[in-house]
Amino acid sequence: LEKSNAQNRALSAQHLQELLDSESIEEKCMGMTILGIDAQPYDVDLLTPYLKSPNLAIVRTAAASIAKIANHESITIAPLLINQLKI
């Protein structure tokens, strides 16, 4: 059972990465939304690059997911987040 759970987690991580790497804006946003629901504060680093996207939907989804999972250690991205939210 433990091996099966580890395999399932690895498969889930692979599918999540495929969503984040997708050319489709909807799939990319879906992956970021999943991160916001299920991720840990250290996953803020995965979302931060999306704040620089030229696509407003991607930026908003990344910001919303960061808001859900960020903690006091994530404060280093605050200037970038504030700057992007001015757009």
Over the stretch 66-75, which tens digit does the pLDDT of each residue have? 888 888 776 7
Which pLDDT belongs to residue 12? Answer: 86
78 vs 87: CA distance, rounded Å: 15
Which pLDDT belongs to residue 17? Answer: 93
Over the stretch 17-68, which tens digit does the pLDDT of each residue have? 999 999 999 999 999 999 998 878 778 888 988 988 999 999 999 989 988 8
> For residues 4 and 33, is the Cβ–Cβ distance under 8 A?
no
Which pLDDT belongs to residue 42? Answer: 79
Which pLDDT belongs to residue 8? Answer: 81
pTM of the predicted protein model: 0.77
Q: Which amino acid is at 32?
A: M
